[in-house]
């Protein structure tokens, strides 16, 4: 705990180098000198931020950023048909050899990740959710276990799954704190505070 407000510096947008193109509603970047690369598909947010993050790693990466609006259900519906994910990956693969496929989502972007995990979890090598794992309530404000099942199954798979959350409570649906508590409890994990 501190008795002062920490600085919240904003990242500065820089020139994005690399090959850029679109695939449907996705903005895509192939980092310079990438003959074969891992693919990161990010859902919900400005494309320049994940593009800039990819360029800072100096690894060969392909980043696709998909934005379609507000609300996790919009993203879920967009990828509920497995062909939507298959088509996106295949169109990118037609331009460059893809090694591994990772998914990331900010806020509402979790909806697309959940839909993809329901049908294509075997094609996903890792997930990063940034303050973005919500669900509805069942039985007097309990996290909906059916909606959480794809994430719980993936967490049990042993693949990489990184999930950050805030302490914002939306009120009408489960917060990222409640969904993280659910996953921790279901997986038999223990929360470890870190002071920074």
Contact 98, 92 (CB under 8 A): yes
Q: For 4-57, how does the pLDDT look when each residue is reduced to its tens digit (9 = 90+)?
A: 677 778 888 888 888 899 998 988 999 887 789 999 999 998 889 999 999 998
**pLDDT exceeds 70 at position 2:** no
**Alpha-carbon distance 115 to 94, whole Å?**
23
Q: Domain 19-187 class?
A: alpha beta
Q: Work out the pLDDT band at 79, boundaries 50, 70, 90.
A: very high
What average pLDDT does range 129-135 have in this prediction? 83
**Global pTM value:** 0.88
Contact 142, 136 (CB under 8 A): no
Looking at residue 112, what is its pLDDT? Answer: 95
């Amino acid at each position: 705990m501190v008795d002062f407000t920490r600085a919240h510096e904003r990242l500065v947008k820089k020139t994005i180098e690399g090959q850029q193109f679109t695939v449907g509603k996705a903005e895509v970047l192939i980092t310079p000198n990438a003959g074969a690369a891992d693919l990161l598909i990010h859902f919900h947010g400005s494309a320049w931020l994940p593009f800039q993050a990819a360029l800072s790693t100096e690894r060969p990466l392909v980043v696709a950023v998909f934005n379609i609006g507000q609300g996790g259900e919009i993203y879920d519906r967009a990828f509920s048909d497995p062909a939507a994910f298959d088509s996106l990956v295949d169109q990118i693969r037609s331009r460059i050899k893809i090694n591994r496929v990772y998914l990331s989502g900010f806020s509402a972007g979790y909806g697309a990740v959940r839909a993809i995990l329901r049908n294509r979890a075997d094609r996903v090598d890792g997930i990063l959710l940034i303050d973005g794992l919500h669900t509805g309530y069942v039985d007097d404000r309990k996290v909906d276990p059916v909606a959480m099942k794809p994430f719980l199954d993936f967490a049990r798979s042993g693949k990489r799954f990184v999930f950050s959350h805030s302490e914002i409570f939306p009120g009408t649906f489960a917060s990222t704190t409640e969904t993280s508590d659910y996953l921790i409890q279901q997986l038999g994990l223990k929360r470890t505070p870190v002071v920074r």
